[in-house]
Chains A and B, each alone.
Chain A
Amino acid sequence: MTMLKIALSAHILGFFQASLLLSCYASSTSQERISGSAGDVLEDDPVGRLKVFVYRLPARYNKRVLEKDQRCLTHMFATEIFVHQFLLKSPVRTLNPDEADWFYTPVYTTCDLTPNGLPLPFKSPRMMRSAIQYISTRWPYWNMTEGANHFFVVPHDFGACFHYQEENAIARGILPLLRRTTLVQTFGQRYHVCLKEGSIIVPPYAPPQKMETHLIPPDTPRSIFVYFRGLFYDKGNDPEGGYYARGARAAVWENFKDNPYFDISTDHPATYYEDMQRAIFCLCPLGWAPWSPRLVEGVIFGCIPVIIADDIVLPFADAIPWEEIGVFVEEKDVPNLDAILASIPPETILRKQRLLANPAMKQAMLFPQPAQSGDAFHQILNGLARKLPHDKSVFLQPGQTFLNWTEGPPGDLKPW
């Protein structure tokens, strides 16, 4: 009798589980869980998994630079300032450097702005070098590893190559002193000199409050197929054409300017954020560098990003499965962009929208003030925590040395 009861209850349980599973796969849910190659790590909490020591540098490396120009807090390179502010108050910070796993140097290299607001990188190598000299002489921890357990935030166009023009950036390469450090940067392109192995790619800074004020109700129908606002030709820097964006943006314009389903133009509408929420696809083509804040905006507003940048490495690529969320189009396939986008199966599009609707995904792209759990600051710490414990090669043997302090162009060796 009891056996019968047990069998019956097992059957009922099984049935219940099956129906539960079925409801999980039903497409009437509005979001889906994100799991990348590193697993379901977007929701990981880094507190307790690592300790970060923040060097105390003189004000001329950070505070005074910021006082000279307050625009550094709002432009897309503001990551370095906000990461510093976050780490000072974070529970992962430790005041005892002997127990620290990672060391952070707060030096604002992207804050020397032109009147137009664009950062000049000419003094950045010297500034970085000077900062490293300061920490290596006052604390012993740099010399113990030659920087292998240190990380720096370099959000400039080509990261630690410190130049805005790609040829010059490649010619300079990554600053020699940063060769063993972990770099937290926005630039990511495979097989490129300026992307070091083990770097953590982060999204560019986008102001969260400004984006939140432009949200529209989610039942507004998405009636724009493809949306893009920005330059196609850069007449000032590339008068002949063909250099800017490797010709990809110009190709988009020439092929689709007459297409009624491609809402692309160069103007600056006041309803830019609202329009993105009414679009299914948002183009994110490369410009002078492959990364752009459009990716962040597309993710926040639920618009599937169409990434047109060959070999790009997107932010937190080990935690976020970008292939499943965005659409990657090679630059040579741009003339067929309409066929590519229209042939995506509807279930795939709906799935991508569900993944984008996941609040963990949106949170991971933002740098909110004050920091919230799951945001980009925490993803950086998660990335650093995933690299622990340090390999034996991190710590130098006595007498071993890798860095050459006189390496680099002579202009860089001058004191800052």
Chain B
Amino acid sequence: MAKPSRGRSSSRTASNSVLDKFLLCSCRLFRKFFQGLLCLSALVLGYRLSGEAVFFLGASSRGALFLRRTNSNSLRTDGIDVALKFPYVTEATRGKQAGLQQSLPEGKSTRVHVGRHEILIRPQPHPDPVQIMKAHNLLNIVQRQQTLLYDSDEQKQQLLIITPTFARTFQALHLTCLIHTLRNVPFPLTWIVVEADGLSNETADLLAHSQLPFHHLTFSERMPAPFDQRWQLEIRLRIEGLRFIRTNRLDGIVLFVDDSNTYSLDFFKEAQRTKWMGGFSIGLLPDFGGEEGKSSTIMPVLHLQGPVCDASGQISGWYTPFKVRNDLHISDQSALDWAGFSLNAKLLWEGFESPAGFIKWNRLFQEKPNLFVSPLNFVRNYTLVQPLGDCGCSILLWRSRVEARADSKFPSRWEINPGLEIVVPSKRTPWVDHHLQRHRSTRHSDLTDLNQKHRGRVRRKLKVPV
């Protein structure tokens, strides 16, 4: 509620009796006299006392004057307010004060009055970390309740996440990030990890510490070294995952999550909207040796791949920076990344009556088993794919095939045992280190020996804490 800036000195006083005027005049005279007295005392005692006293005498405003009048019972002990000895009582206000006292219930008094109040500041006005933590917890609880109340209409289906992987230098990097992403997904999920080249300790170790429900499947074939030949085996690994879902009749929404991709949590929320088959937009970060060479000079190179909708929201095609043939059903589906599709697991089940336009699993493998290169094989007509993520306009995942050189080495399970060699010693002292001397038989030759040693690289085995 704003106040007009009219200044505080504008209003007239409320009463008009002669007694009033007399009191007012005597007030002013007395005040002047008192001020003079305090001036003199200030010369003797100091400035501060006189300053406070002048303030007490209403250097500010009539607010202090009215203090007495409005509150007859209470007395403020803290703050700078001080009651004056001259109650400004008039005919009008005397009646009101009497009325006021009558209306106050027994034993109750108002603590509130007009006038200057102290601005209370606690001694350490910094944020208290304990309270901040409590506030944070409250925010969490409120938000959880909100999702319970308002998101309950949306389905919370299980997510079946198929990840093809194999042991390599960058696997720990990719899988660690993926594990943390999946742990933050607020839906129930089952992680199906299909590993090439048999079961490795690295993958098993990472999965065991992931705190996620997973199935670790193995494939005997080895992942080829050249990057451009890997995609075919990856597809077979994914099909292996699909076969696992079919055999065990797992229910939910199938997502193809490669270990090197990065996901926004909205992706998983959006995937819940999949009815039978959904398509997402992917951000394709340029890969250093992934599915190569298909960059086109004709189409504009925007590193995205995803469904494109027409005005009514129906899917009308795909955008991809790779060169594709017009007839999408045949061989160039491999240009479309599996990660941009989601499937309803029921389509894989044996004996399930697929809706019109969707091809059954048996038929896919009967016709031409090697033709299964893309989830689009499941549909006769690509218009049956549901464009998700705001009709393909939101990029909810990114693909980046970052890998180390084929000949790079890494310690098994990234554990350092035995210890590493010293490249940079922690001490370089010109004097003899008695600690090192213990191993030497003679003493006088130490200095020369040590000097020679320190000039080059000292090979010592030290235990590096893992």
Q: B93 and A171: CB pair below 8 A?
A: yes
B143 and A170 contacting across the interface, CB-CB below 8 Å: no
Q: For the side of the interface on A, what is the size category?
A: 35 or more
5 A-B pairs with least C-beta separation: A219-B150, A342-B134, A171-B14, A335-B122, A236-B5
Q: Which of B100-108, B172-180, B240-248 is the contact stretch?
A: B100-108
Stretch at the interface among B27-35, B62-70, B217-225: B62-70
Measured CB to CB, the nearest residue on chain B to A192 is: B110
Residues in A neighbouring B152, C-beta threshold 8 A: 28
A350 adjacent to B110 (CB under 8 Å): no
Binds B, one of A133-141, A241-249, A266-274: A241-249
Q: Inside 8 A of B60's CB, which chain A residues have their CB?
A: 240
State whether B114 touches A191 (Cβ < 8 A). Answer: no
Which residue of A has the minimal Cβ distance to B70? A170
**Binding stretch for chain B, among A16-24, A103-111, A286-294, A313-321:** A286-294
The answer to whether B363 has its CB under 8 Å from any CB of chain A is: no
Also in contact, A173 and B146, with CB within 8 A (given A246-B117, A251-B121, A260-B127) = no
Give chain B nearest CB distance to A315 CB in angstroms. 15
Bound-state CA distance A254–B137 (Å) is 25
For residue B116, CB closer than 8 A to chain A, the reply is yes
Closest to A353 in B: B142
Q: Is B4 an interface residue (CB 8 A)?
A: yes
List B contacts of A335 (CB < 8 A).
120-122, 125
CB of B275, distance to nearest CB on chain A (Å): 22
Interface flag for A259 (CB, 8 Å): yes
B49 at interface, CB cutoff 8 A: no
In the complex, residue of chain B having the shortest beta-carbon distance to the beta carbon of A342: B134
Q: Is A225 an interface residue (CB 8 A)?
A: yes
- On chain B, the residues within 8 Å of A170 by CB distance are 66, 69-70, 114
With CB as the reference atom, state the residue of chain B lying closest to A219.
B150
Q: Is there contact, CB below 8 Å, between B110 and A258?
A: no
Chain B 1-25 interface mask (CB, 8 Å, partner A; 1/0): 1111101100111111000000000
Closest approach, in angstroms, between the C-beta of A262 and any C-beta of chain B?
A: 9
Does A255 touch B at the CB level, under 8 Å? Answer: yes
Chain A residue numbers with a CB within 8 Å of B115 are 243
**Is B366 interfacial (CB 8 A cutoff)?**
no
Q: Does B367 contact A (CB under 8 A)?
A: no
The distance in angstroms between the C-alpha atoms of A120 and B4, with both chains bound, is 9
Interface residues of B (CB under 8 A from A): 1-5, 7-8, 11-16, 60, 62-63, 66, 69-70, 80, 92-93, 96, 100, 103-104, 108-112, 114-122, 125-128, 131-132, 134-139, 141-143, 145-152
Beta-carbon contact of A242 and B80 below 8 Å: yes
Closest B residue to A169 by beta carbon equals B114
- Identify the interface centre among A120, A165, A341: most chain B CB within 10 Å of its CB: A165
A338-B5 in contact given A191-B110, A219-B150, A221-B146 (Cβ < 8 Å)? no
- Are A157 and B1 neighbours in the complex by a CB distance under 8 Å? yes
Instruction: Report A207 CB to chain B, min CB distance, Å.
Output: 16
Q: How far is the CB of A113 from chain B (nearest CB, A)?
A: 10
> Which chain B residue has the least Cβ–Cβ distance from A27?
B145
- Supplied contacts A236-B5, A338-B132, A342-B132, 6 more A-B pairs, CB within 8 Å: A237-B5, A240-B116, A259-B127, A287-B2, A287-B3, A341-B135
Q: Which of A168-215 contact B (CB under 8 A)?
A: 168, 170-173, 189-193, 197
- Whether B1 and A292, one on each chain, are in contact in the complex, defined by CB atoms closer than 8 angstroms, is yes
In the complex the two chains form, is A291's CB within 8 Å of B103's CB? no
Q: Pick from A28, A173, A246: contact of B96, CB below 8 A.
A: A173
